[in-house]
Amino acid sequence: MATTSFNCSVSQGFNFEKDSQTVVGHLTSLKIGSKEFAKDIEIMDPTAIKDNTKVKVVGVMSGIFWKGGYADPLSFNCQVSTVNKQDAVVLQHSDLSDTTVEYDYVVYDYDPVAKVYFKAFHNDSTTLKGLVEKSGGELSLGIEMDQGMEVVSPKNFGFYLGVMPQEEAQTLHYGVSNTGKFTKAWGVSVAA
Separation CA 64–CA 62 (nearest Å): 7
Section 28-44 average pLDDT? 96
pLDDT in tens, 92-134: 888 788 999 999 999 999 999 999 999 999 999 999 999 999 9
Q: Quick check: 192 pLDDT over 80?
A: no
pLDDT in tens, 57-104: 999 999 999 999 999 999 999 999 999 999 999 988 887 889 999 999
Q: What CATH number was assigned to the domain covering residues 4-186?
A: 2.30.110
pLDDT of residue 19: 86
pLDDT of residue 84: 97
pLDDT of residue 137: 82
Per-chain mean pLDDT for the chain: 93
